[in-house]
Structure 1
Amino acid sequence: MKRISCKVDEISKLNDYVYRVRLSPESETVYQPGQYLQLVLSDEDKRIFSIASAPHQAHIELHIGAAQSDDYPRQAIEHLQANAIVEIELASGLAFLREDTNRPRLLIAGGTGFSYVHSMLQHMLTQTSNPATTVIWGCRNSSDMYYYEQMQDWANAHPWLEFIAVIEQQPQPLTAHQGMLLDTVCQLYPDLSQYDVYLAGRFEMAKTAKPLFSEHKVNPEHLFGDAFSFV
């Protein structure tokens, strides 16, 4: 991986606990849509975050969910707030977007795992054609779905793109399925054999998803998620 210094251009809140961070790299960056980077707090302390931007964009964007009870992302935000210049290492991850196939795509995200999907979408929106793509994004509350309106706009503007929101608790005021993300995926797609399936979220979700999707005939060669390497 290459270590790069970046100027911290923006730290803004997308909701009560999710921050959008925009960095300007001081040298060339090379990565694939759907890869991740490491934010260097020190040589012994590097924090992993999905890259939310796409390779063609001049900036690097991150979506960091930093609740007070979670030291890992909160300390990363504090580091970014305290330093005008930070260092990152990129890029890592094998679950990047595959473009050598016309198989339909399911992009599944839990919570701020949406940043992974956002990177791939930012790239896909620049292409002249894309296979049929469905984004299925699950959150606990409607307020957690910080890009809901943007996703609706993209889906309305692009015939190849469908957006399905899933809310665990009462989905109002959003139009969404109510329930658990993985259960909803399997209800809507009982046969996953023809899809390229991309998944991002907490390790616990990935641990559940792999055997569950196998029951629903997913092709292991077309199931992508970096968390699967750790569960």
Structure 2
Amino acid sequence: MSEINCQVVKLEPFNDSVFHVVLRPEQPFSFEAGQYLMVKMSDDDKRPFSIASAPSDGELIELHIGASELQSYPMQVIDRMKENGEITILAPHGEAQLDNSNERPILLVAGGTGFSYVRSIVRELMATEDKRDVTVYWGCQAVEHMYLFDEMQALADVHDKITFIPVVENTPENWNGGEGQVHKAVMKDISDLSAYEIYAAGRFEMVGVVRDAFLTQGMNIENMHGDALPYLK
């Protein structure tokens, strides 16, 4: 793990609650798809964010930061980047990265900006021409919160190994995706989860709900990955 100063190359909103951040590290560092970095606000204040880009994407590092006036903790990071044009990170972190040790089909489950974790894994799988089937469920309250819906759908349209299922709680007219809570949509579609390698990201409580629900539908806990898991009861 290294402490690295980064130039802020891009900082713009995806929508009213998610920012698209692109960083250029002063020195290259290695990471694996599914890992995260820490933004150093001070020696005693380091804040985690999933890396949304893949190792194969090159030197630039992409983050998707959910922040607004009502979310002061991440908004302070956004404000620091805006003011200074640079930020210090510590990277890489995390033990929930992509597992290439088996050929099980991959199930990726994201809530909100947990999609950044999923996106890194999907991009790496496509870049390496991985042969495993990949199913992505992305849950949000509304379609407009899916800030990279078009990108994810385009990937699924081009790659026959990818299935993308958007899930929203507030469904619009003529909606063709999943409805309600994302884990329930998964369980409705897949009756037996025992064969899957599963990756989940979102709010900690959401990951806890996913874990507990999927265990009742055959998931093997050793086949589940998520940075929240070690902190859940």
Partners of 2:28 and 2:59 within 8 A in 1: no
**Partner SS for 1:170:** coil
CA distance, structure 1, for counterparts of residue 198 and residue 11 of structure 2? 31
**1:172 deviation in Å?**
4.4
1:39 corresponding residue in structure 2: 39
1:26 corresponding residue in structure 2: 26
**1:67 deviation in Å?**
2.4
User: 1:70-109 alignment to 2 at 5 Å?
Assistant: 70-109=71-110
CA distance, structure 2, for counterparts of residue 173 and residue 58 of structure 1? 41
Q: Do residues 214 (structure 1) and 215 (structure 2) align?
A: yes
**1:174 deviation in Å?**
5.4
1:184 corresponding residue in structure 2: 185
- Aligned residue identity for 1:137: W
Which sections of structure 1, spanning at least 5 residues, go unmatched?
none
Partners of 1:142 and 1:172 within 8 A in 2: no
**Partner SS for 2:127:** coil
**1:116 deviation in Å?**
0.2
CA distance, structure 2, for counterparts of residue 31 and residue 174 of structure 1? 37
**Partner SS for 1:125:** helix
**Partner SS for 1:165:** strand
Report the TM-score when normalising by structure 1: 0.96
CA deviation profile, 1:151-197 (whole Å, cap 9, x unmatched): 11110100100000000112447532121111111111121000000
Which sections of structure 2, spanning at least 5 residues, go unmatched?
none
**1:220 deviation in Å?**
1.2
CA distance, structure 2, for counterparts of residue 143 and residue 173 of structure 1? 15
2:50 corresponding residue in structure 1: 50
**Partner SS for 2:120:** helix
User: 1:1-231 alignment to 2 at 5 Å?
Assistant: 1-56=1-56, 57-172=58-173, 175-231=176-232
CA distance, structure 2, for counterparts of residue 159 and residue 74 of structure 1? 38
CA distance, structure 1, for counterparts of residue 44 and residue 66 of structure 2? 22
CA distance, structure 1, for counterparts of residue 53 and residue 74 of structure 2? 18
Identity across matched positions, percent? 40
CA distance, structure 1, for counterparts of residue 155 and residue 68 of structure 2? 28
CA deviation profile, 1:107-163 (whole Å, cap 9, x unmatched): 100000000011111211212333000010000011100111111111010010000
CA RMSD for the aligned pairs?
1.2
**1:223 deviation in Å?**
0.5
Partners of 2:35 and 2:93 within 8 A in 1: yes
Q: Name segments (4+ residues, structure 1) moved above 3 Å.
A: 171-175
CA distance, structure 2, for counterparts of residue 159 and residue 52 of structure 1? 22
CA deviation profile, 1:62-107 (whole Å, cap 9, x unmatched): 0001022111111111111111221000111111001121100001
- Aligned residue identity for 2:205: E
Deviates most, 89-98 or 172-181: 172-181
Number of aligned residue pairs: 231
CA distance, structure 2, for counterparts of residue 23 and residue 175 of structure 1? 36
